[in-house]
Amino acid sequence: MSYETILVEQRGAATLVTLNRPQALNALNSQILSELLDAMKAFDADPSQGCAVITGSEKAFAAGADIKEMQAQGFADMYGHDFFAGWDVFTRTRKPIIAAVSGYALGGGCELAMMCDFILAGDNAKFGQPEIKLAVSPGMGGSQRLTRAVGKAKAMEMCLTGRMMDAQEAERAGLVSRILPAGELVEEAVKTAQAIAGMAPLAVLANKEMVNAAFETSLAQGVAFERRLFHALFGTADQKEGMTAFVEKRPGNWTGK
């Protein structure tokens, strides 16, 4: 499939996806959603690819869902078609996805960044859920994921006022894992993705799955789930290789088995 609203590039074992609707500050419309879902499906299915990076432009990661597309929609259109349900498919991508956020990540843009597995922020990044100013609310998981990431106080304030958080505040609050100079963000994110893609593939899937389980389970259930996956990894050839390589003081050579 050829894309009009995203650019997809393979950099070794890392897939770099760039949102590319500069005229609308990468506002997320139906086309960008369907192209992104197609690209992520292809990424997940491609054994040569181990980790993806999603980025936007230096000015905007994404300035939200596309307001012009939603403006004329009524309740029957939105509820009847379960508008935004496609984004749930995005979150079922099994391999890791890093959001590399420069500039605005607002509304659906902030929500997309939070659907990724972690966020690397440029020092110019701004996060916000300004939907209330449009007389609506987050609709792609923002009220839930932001609250889990930064706690009730900040999430509630941001949703009720539409105030933006800068990169420093976002890092202090635990929304982003690291801040990088905006000009180096994408290259650093790709290097991080390549490093992840260089790990044993089944261990990568298992680590992502168990961290995500922390959001869905009690502590006891989560710890039990982790232990079972940890046990399961001892059934892989790569576990034998990884531990043998350590003892022999050489890098591991993974088969993905």
Active site residues: 65, 108, 111, 131
Among 131, 171, 226, 238, binds ligand HXC (CB under 6 A): 131
Q: Is residue 136 close enough to count as binding ligand HXC by CB under 6 A? A: yes
Among 32, 105, 106, 197, binds ligand HXC (CB under 6 A): 106
Cβ of residue 180: shortest distance to ligand HXC, in angstroms?
21
Distances in Å between the alpha carbon of 6 and those of 16, 18, 103, 111, 189? Answer: 10, 5, 17, 18, 17
The residue sitting closest to ligand HXC, measured at its beta carbon, is 107
Select the residue interacting with ligand HXC from 37, 67, 156, 223 (CB under 6 A).
67
Long-range contacts of 226-232 (CB under 8 A, 24+ apart): 230/206, 232/206
- Identify the residue among 50, 56, 108, 201 touching ligand HXC (CB under 6 A): 108
Interaction between residue 104 and ligand HXC (CB under 6 A): yes
Q: Assess 56 for contact with ligand HXC (CB under 6 A).
A: no
Rule CB under 6 A: is residue 130 a binding residue for ligand HXC? Answer: yes
d(CA 199, CA 131): 39
CA 141 to chain centre: 12
Pair 23, 61: CB distance under 8 Å: no
Stretch that binds ligand HXC, among 43-51, 64-72, 195-203, 230-238 (CB under 6 A): 64-72
What is the residue whose two structure tokens read 């789930």? 225
d(CA 10, CA 197): 12
Q: Is 112 a binder of ligand HXC (CB under 6 A)? A: no
Give which of 14, 209, 10 is closest to 98, Cα–Cα: 14
Among 31, 44, 91, 139, binds ligand HXC (CB under 6 A): 139
Most distant CA atoms of the chain, gap in Å: 65
Smaller CB separation from ligand HXC, 12 or 86: 86
Name beta bridge partners: 105: 62, 127
54 touching ligand HXC, by CB under 6 A: no
**Backbone CA torsion sign across 188, 61, 126, 155:** negative
**Binding region for ligand HXC (CB under 6 A):** 24-25, 27, 63-68, 104, 106-108, 130-131, 134, 136, 138-139
